[in-house]
């Protein structure tokens, strides 16, 4: 892509795999590269990308023979709740169904593989028909929706004789909307059951990752998931996998033939710790973009992956 550069974060693949956690929840502010990393994970592990070694040959993960052999060897389900934004429960449920329908469509080859019964094949049609035309007479029961990802995982395990990886991006988008719009209790119960069946009571699951902006109270959404590893902005785990490190910032600027002069701001990279809510790291130096992002940590040479209207535009580029 013209005018762009790529920062190698493929070490995240190796670090996550070697941790061997059942289900990992990773929270970071907006623009920290969560979706990009989830896309990378799908491309690395998914059987759909088997034989696509050229995607990773120049990256750090390819230096390890174990991971060269892992590439393209797992059935993968990728789901994004990024577009699930509604002002009522019915709208949110419809959005979740559409997101799940997208996952079923991406795995449509399972339907045609010959391993499913006619009744099982109808799952694909149910979600596809409803996502296109969510009319009241086609309404799908909560039980069917909450069990849908578990069901798809079991279908894929049957086809490949191998448990699946599930990557759920922006898990908390519908929950934020529910809190703002006043239907939290209704959606929380629905999502709790969806997560329980997908990430806990799922015999077709090998491992999973969820990403989001916030860590929702464990007592409300994750109460059934005693296998959940929570990694927040203040955790050391994966601390260099999201956002840019100081060295990565300097290298990016070097590629552009420019240099960042930190002295203009009167600060150094290691001087930062944590900025939460309306409190700026440097009073008057952070614009509303960063305040809306809610949480920034640069204490361990961790900085945001996007720089609009914020600190770096106020530093001097030589």
Domain boundaries defined on the chain: 11-231, 246-317
CATH of domain 11-231: 3.40.50
Q: How many CB atoms lie within 10 A of CB 114?
A: 7
Alpha helices in 162-280 (DSSP H): 173-181, 184-199, 246-255
Q: Is the pLDDT of residue 301 over 80?
A: no
Beta-strand (E) ranges in the chain? Answer: 23-27, 76-80, 164-169, 205-212, 228-231, 260-261, 274-276, 295-297, 316-317
Cβ contacts of 7 within 8 Å, gap of 6 or more: 244, 248, 252
CB atoms near residue 241 (< 10 Å): 21
Mean pLDDT: which of 38-52, 106-120, 207-221, 277-291 is highest?
38-52
The pLDDT score that the predictor gives to residue 316 is 35
CA atoms of 30 and 27, how far apart (whole Å): 10
The confidence score (pLDDT) of residue 199 equals: 97
- With cut-offs at 50, 70 and 90, classify the pLDDT of residue 204: very high
With CA atoms as reference, report the closest residue to 44 among 60, 27, 26, 22.
60
- Average pLDDT estimate for 162-167: 98
Contacts of 127 (CB under 8 A, 6+ apart): 97, 100, 101, 104, 140, 148
User: What is the model's pLDDT at position 255?
Assistant: 77
Which pLDDT band holds residue 259 (cuts at 50, 70, 90)?
A: low
Average pLDDT, the chain: 81
Predicted TM-score (pTM) of this structure: 0.81
For residue 70, is pLDDT > 80?
yes
């Amino acid at each position: 892509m013209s005018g762009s550069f790529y920062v190698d974060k493929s070490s995240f693949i190796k670090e996550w795999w070697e941790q061997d956690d059942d289900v990992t929840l990773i929270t970071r502010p907006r623009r920290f590269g969560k979706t990009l990393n989830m896309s990378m994970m799908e491309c690395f592990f998914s059987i759909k990308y088997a034989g696509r070694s050229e995607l990773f040959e120049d990256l750090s993960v390819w230096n390890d023979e174990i991971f060269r052999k892992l590439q393209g060897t797992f059935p993968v389900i990728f789901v994004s709740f990024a577009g699930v934004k509604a002002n009522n429960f019915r709208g949110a449920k419809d959005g979740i169904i559409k997101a799940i329908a997208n996952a079923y469509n991406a795995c449509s080859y399972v339907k045609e593989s010959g391993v499913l019964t006619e009744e099982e094949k109808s799952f694909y049609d149910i979600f596809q028909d409803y996502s296109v035309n969510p009319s009241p007479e086609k309404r799908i029961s909560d039980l069917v929706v909450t069990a849908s990802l578990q069901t798809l995982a079991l279908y894929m395990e049957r086809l490949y004789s191998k448990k699946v990886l599930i990557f759920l991006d922006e898990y908390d988008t519908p929950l934020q909307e529910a809190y703002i719009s006043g239907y939290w209790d209704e959606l929380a119960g629905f999502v709790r059951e969806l997560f329980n069946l997908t990430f806990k009571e799922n015999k077709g699951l090998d491992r999973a990752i969820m990403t989001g902006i916030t860590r929702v109270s464990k007592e409300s959404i994750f109460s059934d998931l005693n296998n959940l590893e929570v990694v927040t902005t203040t955790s050391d785990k994966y601390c260099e996998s999201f956002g840019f490190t100081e060295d990565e910032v300097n290298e990016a600027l070097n590629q552009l033939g420019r240099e960042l002069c930190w002295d203009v701001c009167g600060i150094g990279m290691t001087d930062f710790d944590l900025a939460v809510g309306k409190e700026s790291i440097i009073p008057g130096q952070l614009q509303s973009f960063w305040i809306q992002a809610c949480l920034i940590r640069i204490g361990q040479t961790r900085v945001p992956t996007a720089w609009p209207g914020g600190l770096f535009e106020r530093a001097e580029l030589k």
